[in-house]
Structure 1
């Protein structure tokens, strides 16, 4: 099995970090754009899509800055992360997504994130 590698995607977003963080870190926010149904208990999120389920544990977070999840089925060093940054030049809010994928799958995974982030932006009124 080939080793997955970390890749990063950046999306400029027109909304406050406070509002964006809610969509990235709460079950109700994630359910708006990331999964069909989301529940959380003791830092473990259960995600449902079209009848399939997956769980991810919050391994790091800083309010209004970032949240990092670890899929229960993934190797220990892998994670996915939503980070909120401010552009030094334009002062614009930037959503940074970090995830792992096999090299040949990064393009497809990036397109999937693009699709989901478009749904997030729709919910945010962007």
Structure 2
């Protein structure tokens, strides 16, 4: 397929210190009920255990592609027919704890067509602010 026929993807990575333990944070990253409290309008699980992320009343289906309890989770987004696509958008959340300072960091990797770094930074700053309010961190 010629390059002009594909949409170029952008990998945006950002880290946030969060004053809460991975055990407290993980359910907000890995469950529909946790994500719906801070990440988007609503998140539901369908009968096939796919996540339905709802933004602006529009569904965006994803599968939890991998997870390590209290450490990381990856969501790979599906097409409108809920099927996998080559070079799909995905979202990674990784929790890291500094052994030296005991600080917890949430690293977000957002792989999508969105290329505006400033817009992405502002969006994630706002989302993480909501998350911090929820966990008291």
Quickly name the TM-score band, shorter chain normalised. 0.7 to 0.9
User: Equivalents in 2 of 1:48, 1:7: separation in Å?
Assistant: 21
Question: Which one has the bigger strand percentage?
Answer: 1
2:78 alignment counterpart: 72
5+ unaligned residues in a row in structure 1: which ranges? none
5+ unaligned residues in a row in structure 2: which ranges? 1-5, 80-84
- Render the CA deviation track for 1:61-87: whole Å, top value 9, x for unaligned: 111110001111364354210100012
- Render the CA deviation track for 1:72-111: whole Å, top value 9, x for unaligned: 1364354210100012431201000001245742221221
Tell me if the contact between 2:89 and 2:112 (Cα under 8 Å) persists in the aligned partners.
no
User: Equivalents in 1 of 2:57, 2:132: separation in Å?
Assistant: 25
TM-score by length of 2: 0.81
Structure showing greater radius of gyration is: 2
TM-score by length of 1: 0.88
1:17 alignment counterpart: 22
User: Equivalents in 2 of 1:7, 1:124: separation in Å?
Assistant: 24
Residues 31-110 of structure 1 aligned to structure 2 (within 5 Å): 31-41=36-46, 42-73=48-79, 75-76=86-87, 78-102=89-113, 104-110=115-121
Moved over 6 A (4+): none
